[in-house]
Amino acid sequence: MVNEYDPCYFPFFSLPDKIIYDIFNFLYGTDLAKLCLVSSQFNHWIFARNQLAWKDAIYSELSTNPVLISQESYRDFYKRAYLGLYRCIIDKVSERKKLGMEQKRSSEDTPKCVWRSSFLVEKEYSYGHYLKQEKTQQNSSCIRANLDRQDRLRRYLCTAAKHGYEVWAATLCHQGANICGLYFTLGRIHFDNYEDYFLCPLYFATLENNERMIQKIIELGIRYQSPNPYYILPSNDDSFAEENASGDYVTFSLHFSDLQEMICKVLICINDNAALLEAFLNSLDLPSIHQAAIYQNIDEFSRFLEYSRNFDLNDMDHYNMTPIVYCILLNRKDVVRYIYNSRTDIIVGRRLAESIKTVSSSIPYDMLKIIREHDNKCYKAVVFGIFADEKVFTSDRFKDVLRLILVDLVDEDVFYAAFDGAISSGSNHLINLLILDLFTFLRLYITSITDVQRLFQQITSVRKKVIVNHGETLLWKALRSGHHDCFRLLILKRVSLSKLAEGYSGLHSLWWFSSNVLAILPSNMTVTSNIRYEQFHQFLLQLRNPDLDTNAIAKTLLPYKFVKAIVDLPIYIFLEQSRTIDAWAACNTFIIGIMLYIMLYDWKRPIFADHQLQKRLEKISYTLLENLLSLQIKYFNINTLDSSFGGRATLLHIATQFDNPMWVNLLLQAGANRLIEDSLSKKPIQYVKESDNKCRYLLENYQSCPRP
């Protein structure tokens, strides 16, 4: 920072505050950042005071509704937008982790196409990239150059849509961004060496469930692409297909599941806005029978079906949607009832439910009654979706829907669907409503106390049957969802512990569990998801806290919570179940598996570039294992030879292979035997590298263990 300016010669700061801020309003946030380095006066006004200048920069460049995450200032928000999530994370992690983030992998529950597309825009098309490369460029006279720039601006528009930057989105459209989304494949398909992408601004808004941004994108299409805005590339448009001399080629098609999800969310979001709905429906390439179902009254529609023998109600459009799907989403009750009553061979049940699963909690009450009357399988799937969405239970507008469903919980299949959905939600509140607080739950929506008592008795009886018949499946789902409270409740309801010992050998059944547990650590999914990034941000705040309490953090992590849930079980649970299974051995296998996954999948190698943060993270992992070992589990055998990873090995074998003296020391203190051989007839000391003197010394000299 240069020497301070003498106010006598530099009277800028003697101006009234309002004038100073008005002057700052003409500057981009990047200019404000540079001014902060000029002098302490500028830094004081722009950054250290009330950050009004940063707020104004965000409002004028990015969004009028910025969503700040925990302890984030307006300056930090602007910096996050400027860098993009990729840079926000990649600058913090070690070189090894950076390489891991570059791999084209995806989680089990996220389509690869979605991951690739989101990763691409975060890495290459952040707001900072735009300011450096695109802001000042003018349209070229070359048609091809303009098409290329429109495509680049479309990718920036995807970033803006994902993060809700509606001001930047409007700027991009004004500059000629192509708002129409497309699905495309790059590479050599015949050799399975290809990657698929779906770059669609509207789809990125739906991924984040940002209704305001969904509406904004459609409004921008109306404003900048009238009279015929397109939000998805028409299926017959091959103008972008090209082949180059290298033999690589680009093909464009429609990705059914992604498009179907997007269209469903958009229709639910804009159903009450006639102008937006008309523009969006007109942009879709719909067959005649779909148009008839959407636009015609019931008499016209019935005549259309009567005289148009070539059309089938099972016909799907280019987005894999049948006419009845549109009618359900648009609340066309008369047409839906007509279709159900007139045809017996239409696609209904689970296949229909699969089409509307992403918006099942938003289906109107009257439409839900029709589905309930005519399509039991679809109705149960909708019940699952409703109980998987916690917001349904916090809004008065869903009272009629919940009242309707509560009466049906006396059906075993409906109760199972509700329970399954509640587990998927990850909400303890919803689980408690069905198990611990059922009577109170009924009182909220049923007025007659007599009806409440009757339903309570009937549903309680049905709940017992569901737990008896489906308890083990629900227990496994609770584990995979990270739902430790539900996990414990089900065991207390006498669900068998046998599932805990099944499927570990070779199948790696705890993969979903471990990825759920350690989502707070940086990964490729952290880059592509705002929710995951916020979790990572919260964890970083904890790590940077000067009063860091590693013991408190370790006890908030799911591995500890699940093991604690088992340890705290009453002894009679084990005694009862031991009549049919070895409950003690099942729990021992489960706990060993958790410890192995902690060592194997996240904390075995450096993650953070910052040495202090990495040391704190290692301290948390050590404290977590220390807490698990200190739970005084009577049936726990630290020397168990586990076969989760192909060969049989103990925890000490794994800790030694990863050259972690802290883990080795901890396990030796807990009674690990240095003499046990694994499936390769090797003792732990035989895995010690020549350069690893610490682990070798511990294994050779730890006094509380027998010497080799």
455-482 per-position pLDDT tens digit: 999 999 999 999 999 998 898 888 878 8
Q: How confident is the model at residue 567 (pLDDT cuts 50, 70, 90)?
A: confident
- What distance in Å separates the CA atoms of residue 622 and residue 662, rounded to the nearest whole number? 7
Q: Please give the torsion angle defined by the CA atoms of residues 214, 216, 220 and 221, in that order, rounded to the nearest 10 degrees.
A: 20
Single-letter amino acid code for the residue at 281:
L
Beta strand pairing call for 249-253 and 642-645: unpaired
- What distance in Å separates the CA atoms of residue 249 and residue 187, rounded to the nearest whole number? 6
Q: What single string gives the DSSP state of each residue in 357-372? A: GGGGGG--HHHHHHHH
- What distance in Å separates the CA atoms of residue 457 and residue 660, rounded to the nearest whole number? 56
User: What average pLDDT score do residues 139-167 get?
Assistant: 84
In the numeric block, which tokens belong to residue 53?
């200048």
- Quick one: which of 171, 90, 165 has its CA closest to 123? 90
Under 8 Å between Cβ of 462 and 410: yes
Looking at per-residue confidence, does 260 or 138 come out higher?
Answer: 260
Note the pTM of the prediction, 2 decimals: 0.86
In the numeric block, which tokens belong to residue 70?
């925990």
pLDDT above 60: residue 11: yes
Tell me the backbone φ, ψ of residue 645, rounded to 5 degrees: -120, 40
In the numeric block, which tokens belong to residue 24?
């700052």
- What distance in Å separates the CA atoms of residue 499 and residue 683, rounded to the nearest whole number? 31
239-249 per-position pLDDT tens digit: 333 333 333 33
18 exposure class (CB count in 10 Å sphere: 0-12, 13-18, 19+): exposed
In the numeric block, which tokens belong to residue 404?
């309707």
Report pLDDT for 507: 34
272-303 per-position pLDDT tens digit: 999 999 999 999 999 999 999 999 999 998 88
User: What average pLDDT score do residues 38-55 get?
Assistant: 72
Under 8 Å between Cβ of 560 and 628: yes
Using alpha carbons, list the distances in angstroms from residue 661 to 426, 529, 626, 688, 695: 36, 35, 14, 10, 5
Using alpha carbons, list the distances in angstroms from residue 155 to 175, 245, 255: 13, 26, 18
Helix (H, G, I), strand (E, B) or coil at 197: strand
- What distance in Å separates the CA atoms of residue 28 and residue 214, rounded to the nearest whole number? 26
Question: For 190-272, where are the E strands, in sequence order?
Answer: 193-199, 242-243, 249-253
SS3 readout for 656-671 = HHCCCHHHHHHHHHCC
Q: Could you tell me how many helices (H) and strands (E) the chain has, helices first?
A: 38, 6
575-634 per-position pLDDT tens digit: 888 777 778 888 888 888 888 877 776 566 778 888 898 889 888 888 998 999 888 677
Mean pLDDT of the chain: 82
Most confident of 8-17, 48-57, 211-220, 691-700: 211-220
Contacts of 15 (CB under 8 A, 6+ apart): none
Report pLDDT for 222: 95
Domain limits of the chain?
107-284, 502-701
CB atoms within 10 A of CB 294: 18
Using alpha carbons, list the distances in angstroms from residue 123 to 101, 235, 293, 438: 11, 28, 43, 48
Tell me the backbone φ, ψ of residue 617, rounded to 5 degrees: -65, -40
249 forms bridges with which residues in the sheet?
Answer: 187, 243
Report pLDDT for 313: 86
Looking at per-residue confidence, does 259 or 335 come out higher?
Answer: 335
Using alpha carbons, list the distances in angstroms from residue 594 to 205, 505, 558, 569, 624: 36, 14, 10, 18, 11
- What distance in Å separates the CA atoms of residue 512 and residue 63, rounded to the nearest whole number? 36
Contacts of 677 (CB under 8 A, 6+ apart): 683
- What distance in Å separates the CA atoms of residue 159 and residue 210, rounded to the nearest whole number? 13
Single-letter amino acid code for the residue at 299:
D
Using alpha carbons, list the distances in angstroms from residue 384 to 62, 117, 209, 400, 518: 37, 29, 19, 17, 27
- Cis before 227 (ω within 30): yes
Report H helices in 9-142.
17-24, 29-35, 40-43, 52-61, 74-90, 95-102, 112-124, 127-133
- What distance in Å separates the CA atoms of residue 247 and residue 149, rounded to the nearest whole number? 24
Rg (CA), the chain: 30
For a pLDDT cut of 70, what percent of the chain falls above it?
82
Which strand ranges, in their side-by-side order, compose the sheet holding 249-253?
193-199, 182-188, 249-253, 242-243
371-427 per-position pLDDT tens digit: 999 999 999 999 999 999 999 998 888 999 999 999 999 999 999 999 999 999 888
Determine the angle formed by the axes of helices 412-425 and 376-387, rounding to 10 degrees: 30
- What residue has token string 């959905």? 421
In this predicted structure, which of 36-45, 60-69, 152-161, 386-395 has the lowest mean pLDDT? 36-45
Under 8 Å between Cβ of 190 and 140: no
